[in-house]
A and B are shown apart, each in its own frame.
Chain A
């Protein structure tokens, strides 16, 4: 089974975010980047499927030169090959534009299965996978916690709201977006990191230049507070005493 995993590189969660001078995106100069966490779960699912069923895991990432570090990390965890879609203009592409360049790079690979995270930690639009499936004419299912290969295709477990789940059977080739928590993430081993150096990373250029977008991000800004927050300051003991005062006289739970 040939499994492609679409991964994205995003700013680290702890990163201090500053709005760029033009107010249209964030200041990227001091940021550290990492793999989008939901995509790490997609990679984990792919590696486990390969361990059970054999085959090949290929990671695919679109972005500038820096994304190769994320691809190397995926190779160190056990992916067999990597494809880097070299694109410095992702900010000028919306979901459809990004999904198109992913679709073009993936079509050539004729995968049995495509996995990706359910959403990205930066834009969080939560739809690249579904759009990609639509462009490739594949069936898809989202928020997947478990994947089982059956004789005729796949049986997956979808997460629904309120603690409900559902099994869905589907034919291959197919695309799944993976929810966190179904598996434990693995770390790259020293051996894995060594091996990664010998693995193939293919660089491709996007088939099309960024064109007209369907939606545009006009402005980014700090959210306004929904509540007036009273900040409590002082030493830990002082803060604790202030909280207890609030709990006694205002919140009234003590």
Chain B
């Protein structure tokens, strides 16, 4: 058992770009260990997928093909990948930490009596897998202690995507699957409503989190956003509570933004939120907890009571704009 196998993700013939970040993580791991790197993708009609390898560093590639894999199901993916992992016998299996992977990879790991080391943000010599605990307040080093293949998923934005240049011919791997093995019936993908707010193009965003406490207090942040000519955004709990519409949510389940300025008010900065706003050019954070993870990515930080700082800032911005 040796080598690194990266499982890439596609849906309806389109790559999930996080796949190439996982590929980069796999390359790093394979280089560190001095072992080979292979890659796999699951579905139907995969040979039609465009170039995907990375500078010829991938030794082998597998198209895991079956009519029953046309649509994603956990049962289909687990059964197919179990067979592929047994054939390839890698020491490490690396996934992008997508919603799809979260759905099936833990079950796949269980088939091998292993535990998925999920949401990894860095890989150090050892190999040691770094992931976050307690909403990003702490980092933790994990190591595999089991004897089987080690399953790892990689957090979005943690590895620079490997370049997709050289196409390596994919070897077709046809798993044995029966329709009766697949218990779930997936339906069509849909969106609730047309997104009317495109936060991805906003140059200035004022974003509000749990620290705001009550719905009535949102107005305070709204005023600051208005003074700055900014779009108003929020972290997930604010939208879950219905205080702002879901379409204003920034994070892994919301929109990804990259404004000139991201002003985070009362946002602690859990990993799911940071994923959506890490690309901001400048980040200012106002939070009462000096250890809040948001300060790890902020250019300017204010440890203080937002109910005092925000009104003062709104006033100062209005005066500055005259």
Contacts and interface: CB of A to CB of B under 8 A. Distances in A.
A131 B108 CA distance: 9
B203 A253 contact: yes
Contacts of B282: 250-251
A140 B145 contact: no
Interface in A40-97: 94-96
Given A229-B301, A243-B313, A251-B282, A139 B145 contact: no
A17 B137 contact: yes
A229 B295 contact: yes
B156 to A, nearest CB: 9
A26 B315 contact: no
B184 A169 contact: yes
B298 interface: yes
Contacts of B189: 160, 164-166
A254 B320 contact: yes
Contact of B99 (A127, A133, A161): A161
Contacts of B254: 163
Interface in A205-254: 212-233, 236-237, 239-241, 243-244, 246-248, 250-254
A220 B302 contact: no
A244 B146 CA distance: 54
B321 interface: yes
Interface string A125-151: 111001101110001111100000000
Contacts of A204: none
Interface stretch (B23-31, B41-49, B126-134): B126-134
Contacts of B136: 223
B300 A127 contact: no
Nearest to B121: A223
Interface in B113-136: 113-119, 128, 131-136
B171 interface: no
A123 B134 CA distance: 6
B106 to A, nearest CB: 3
A231 to B, nearest CB: 5
B113 A96 contact: yes
A104 interface: no
A226 B279 CA distance: 12
Contacts of B134: 11, 17, 26, 121-122, 124
* Chain B contact surface mostly: mixed
> Among B137, B192, B321, which residue has the most Cβ atoms of chain A within 10 A?
B137
A168 interface: yes
A240 B303 contact: no
Nearest to B118: A125
Interface in A144-183: 159-161, 163-171, 179-181
A218 B106 contact: no
B191 A253 contact: no
Interface in B231-257: 236-237, 239-242, 246-247, 252-255
B252 A161 contact: yes
Chain A interface extent, by class: 35 or more
A53 B142 CA distance: 43
B296 A164 contact: no
Contact of A223 (B138, B146, B192, B247): B138
B250 to A, nearest CB: 12
A215 B271 CA distance: 22
Nearest to A142: B103
B309 A240 contact: yes
B32 interface: no
A240 B240 contact: no
A251 B291 CA distance: 24
A22 interface: no
Contacts of B119: 124-126
Contacts of B132: 124, 223
A186 interface: no
A13 interface: yes
Contacts of B283: 227
Interface in A1-38: 11, 13-14, 16-17, 19, 26
B300 A237 contact: no
B55 to A, nearest CB: 27
Contacts of B281: 251
A166 B188 contact: yes
Given A26-B134, A239-B309, A241-B316, A229 B299 contact: yes
A232 to B, nearest CB: 5
A180 B284 CA distance: 27
Given A134-B110, A170-B185, A243 B284 contact: yes
Contacts of A254: 228, 317, 320-321
Contacts of B214: none
Contact of B133 (A124, A181, A239): A124
A96 B112 CA distance: 11
Contact of A227 (B75, B204, B252, B298): B298
9 contacts: A17-B138, A124-B134, A130-B104, A161-B253, A212-B145, A224-B296, A240-B317, A247-B320, A254-B320
